[in-house]
Chains A and B, each alone.
Chain A
Amino acid sequence: MIATYANLIIQGILLGGLYAIFALGLSLSVGVMRFVNIAHGDFIVLVSFLLLTVATALHINVLLALLLVIPLTFAGGYLLQRVLLQRVIGQSVLLPLLVTFGLSIIVQNGLLEGFGADTHTLSAGSLDTSSLHIGSFYVGVLPVATFVLAVALVLGFDWLLYRSRIGANIRAVADDVAAADLIGLSSVRIYAIAMGIVGVTVAIAACFMGLRMNFDATSGPSRLLVAFEVVVLGGLGSLRGTLLGGIILGIAQTLGGQIDGAWQVLAGHLVFLVIFLLRPQGLLPRY
């Protein structure tokens, strides 16, 4: 009995790593750049389809395709911010919300048109099924790799934002655009770079989501919901909080599934609501 629950908690923590990767990009844009990207989930799904296309067209492993796609998504994020989002940012809270909502609809319908309504998964060859045997527990190599990557990304971006020069610039622009412009920082360029970084996290999330879960043209909004819960649970602006939020949601869902199959998703939402009521500022808030 104890072994069963211990195993479930381990699986939940590993799933949490994936959720944290989902939420990382949203955490950066909401917490640091202060705007809500409604299309975050749809961008992840869009890049999953891109990875699928690249991997099948070039007959290469998805992980290799990811390396090719990351520069593209960085450029995509950069251009999106520069060409479109920059025009609406800072004027009102509502405008970026509406623009990204529109993008979400465009992406979903575009994918539906281009790829149809079929459900897809990505495959990384033998990595899909390889397993590690530790004591009496079996864990998949892929979930472990995802979790390790999640921790590395959180620590890496934490360093980037709070220890590096570019991070200081991004935070300066986020705190006060006018003052940053006054001391010679190009806020337009820095916002665009930040969105490019979000694009990189989107590519990584798309790859590991596609390896572990199914996706179809309309699965973006459900991904957004997970990412939102994780960001709010962890506390706005805190990347370490995002990791913690992901783990809590992962454990809640896995344990909920143990009670009854139908409880899996519900348990995640309930835990989110309870923590949100008790600690509306999140678990590790920065602000």
Chain B
Amino acid sequence: MRKTPAVDRRSVLKGVAASGAATMLGRPAFAAPRTLKIGLVAPQTGPLSLFSEHIPFVLDQVKRATGGNLKIGSTNRPFEIVVKDSQSNPNRASEVASDLILKDKVDIMCAFATPETVNPVSDQCELNGVPCVSNDAPLEPWFFGRHGDPKKGFDWTYNYFFSADEVIHAMLAVWTRIPTNKKLGVLWPNDNDGNAFAHVMPPPIKEAGFTIVDPGRFDLPANNFDAQISAFKAAGVEGVFTVTPSPEFTVFWNSSAQQGFKPKLVTPGKVAEFPPGVYPFGDRATNFSIEVWWSRFHPFSSGMTGQTSAELADEYEKVSGRQASMGLGFRHALFETAFDTLKRAHDLDKHESVRDALRDMDYKSVVGPVNFKKGPFPNTSLTPVVGGQWRKGKKWPLELVIVDNKYAKEIPTGGEPAAMT
């Protein structure tokens, strides 16, 4: 019996694959330019998810403004934004950043929303030599929290936002203009922020002539502030400065009302930055004071859409039906700065070249000028901060009014500081 030599399936496939590869190799001149990849690590779920509120809107803006192509010199380069969820967890943030670097091979990384997200992502980028631009993480915890050396700085990672030092001075500018006995009660919990505040804040506050009444660090979650309220009342405290999550502040502020504690100035950090944080209090939130790092009144405009701050805020409110808040400006600016970097890079296939473009940035964004050579520390750029208070609004139940601009005169005020009623 004679066997017919049959061509088996596998060798046929191999042949097809090889000829395919050969065709591709043979025609380099006709290949479309490589799609640029921008990695974004965002806390889309978990306790920090409030920070991601504006992301879908801004991604949509990017799509409309660019059509998925970045005009670099005379060519149009297609780009893709790969978004990964940090689940509000630093370990997870580090993991997805490493995925973006190693699997997706991103050309530039973006991150935002507190040092819990930004620091682990920055560390991964520093380790793997990928340029990373970030914001919405205060400069001190970003730089010193990552053991930055002010003489050397970092090689691959850059961050722009306010500094803790800048914020406390902006708040003191408001507090000193409200007549009180200068006795300030503080609620600083036993967590990263609370301990950092207890360490950093007292010297500048005392320098400004305030006495601090500090009932001590308390563990979160906390459900009972009777002891703190009674300590404040006993000391005759007229101002309160808290940095607790919003559920804790609700318990504190309700108990204060029940027990007849009525401070003249209240600054609820981590609560009054967000409209949903103040709405539940209604009139009882009138004149809450808070630092303002972006608002519709900031006299800057976007290099991506050409919108002014007010136009950006209006568009967001129209599209989403929600009040625009500080985070919106920084979400928008994050993409502005990433695009500016890519546009100025000499060789987009070299991480070093993209990094050099990032390092040399001198850009006017919707949150203010960004220049990493001017920051208080290497690799950082400081954006302006002013003082604001929540007042009864026309379009929204409560609106943030800028009441003091001691440290950023270019941002106009809309009112004067006033005591709580």
Contacts and interface: CB of A to CB of B under 8 A. Distances in A.
Interface of A: 1, 4, 7-8, 11-12, 15, 116-121, 123, 128-131, 133, 138-143, 212-214, 216, 219, 253-258, 260-265
A129 B258 contact: yes
B11 to A, nearest CB: 51
Interface string B223-241: 1101110110110000000
Contact of A139 (B218, B251, B259, B261): B259
Contacts of A1: 234
Contacts of A260: 215-216
B284 A129 contact: yes
Contacts of B216: 260-263
A4 B226 contact: no
Contact of B227 (A8, A133, A138, A142): A8
Contacts of A263: 216
A126 B76 CA distance: 59
B114 interface: no
A260 to B, nearest CB: 4
Most chain B Cβ neighbours within 10 Å, of A1, A138, A254: A138
A119 B221 contact: yes
B113 to A, nearest CB: 16
Contacts of B233: 4, 7
B215 A261 contact: yes
Given A121-B251, A123-B280, A212-B251, A261 B217 contact: yes
B22 interface: no
Interface of B: 45-47, 190, 215-219, 221-224, 226-228, 230-231, 233-234, 245, 247-248, 250-251, 254-255, 257-261, 280, 284
Contact of A264 (B221, B224, B245, B280): B224
Given A139-B258, A219-B221, A118 B228 contact: no
- Give 10 nearest A-B pairs by CB, closest first: A140-B258, A257-B227, A138-B260, A261-B218, A261-B216, A129-B257, A213-B223, A260-B216, A214-B247, A11-B226
B247 A264 contact: no
Given A140-B259, A261-B215, A128 B254 contact: yes
A238 to B, nearest CB: 25
A142 B255 CA distance: 10
Given A214-B247, A214-B248, A262-B216, A141 B258 contact: yes
Nearest to A266: B219
Given A15-B224, A119-B247, A131 B218 contact: no
6 contacts: A8-B230, A130-B257, A213-B251, A254-B224, A261-B216, A261-B217
